[in-house]
Amino acid sequence: MLTSKRPKEDNKAFFSPQLSLDDQSIMNSTETESILVGLTGGIASGKSTVIRYLRDNGYSIIDADKLGHRVLEPGTHGYKKVVETFGKGILHPEGTVNRPALGKIVFLDPQKLKRLNEISHPIIADMIQKEYEKLVSDCVRKIVFLEAAILIEANWHKVCQHIWVVTLDPAIAIQRLQARDGLSYIEANARLEAQLAPEDRLAYADLILKNDATKEDLITKTQQALQDLKLSRVARHS
């Protein structure tokens, strides 16, 4: 069964005032049997493996990272604010944002990362709201997953009825990040350090998926988590 480890002060399902996500419409969805499950974890922790399994089995996914890419599309308000803040040096010759270049700037400077988040998070929150409303109207299973590495930091967890956290040994995560993104050890470690500490993230977890073996093992754990979630919903409405 799912057991809550969420801090008491975060049991309310609403966003902080500075974010624009409409908590009431999310909460109303529970009345029609729809739920939003937040899936998070550190960089390179194995979230993609879990999400791939869920998507392949018909579950609807809101990918916060992809929404973040849309924030930086040329011509958008987010694009204009980011270029205004960080300068044209973050742009490719054709005018699109060079995300690796922007990442090297913000992940080595907490204040610059904070400023980028202040620009992007409210915009992404609004996108999440719209995606959720669309998916709930079309979703047969009525379970929607929100994948976000910064689910907790951005306060997006407050509109989720369940929080799943994928964990991985930090040393292994750094190795994966170096191999995947071509980063130095210092760059990879800086990206992990810029995120919420693992123990702080786990404090919000209703369910922990330990990625401490093979991909097949992680998928098996995901299958069990889904089964437990479904059983908990049946028990709640019986």
Q: Domain segments of the chain: what residues? A: 8-65+125-236
| CA 35 to each of CA 38, 114, 124, 205, 224: distance values in angstroms, whole numbers, following the listed order | 10, 30, 19, 16, 18
The residues, any chain, with a CB within 8 Å of residue 217's CB and separated by 6 or more, are none
Query: Each residue of 57-96: pLDDT tens digit?
Result: 999 999 999 999 999 999 999 999 999 999 999 999 999 9
Radius of gyration of the chain measured on its C-alpha atoms: 18
Query: Each residue of 151-194: pLDDT tens digit?
Result: 999 999 998 999 999 999 999 999 999 999 999 999 999 989 88
**pTM for this one?**
0.79
Number of Cβ within a 10 Å radius of residue 74: 12
Q: Which amino acid is at 151?
A: L
Q: CA dihedral defined by 198, 204, 207, 210, rounded to 10 degrees? A: 0
With beta carbons less than 8 A apart as the criterion, state whether 120 and 71 touch.
yes
pLDDT score for 137: 81
CA atoms of 166 and 44, how far apart (whole Å): 10
* CATH number for the domain whose boundaries are 8-65+125-236: 3.40.50.300
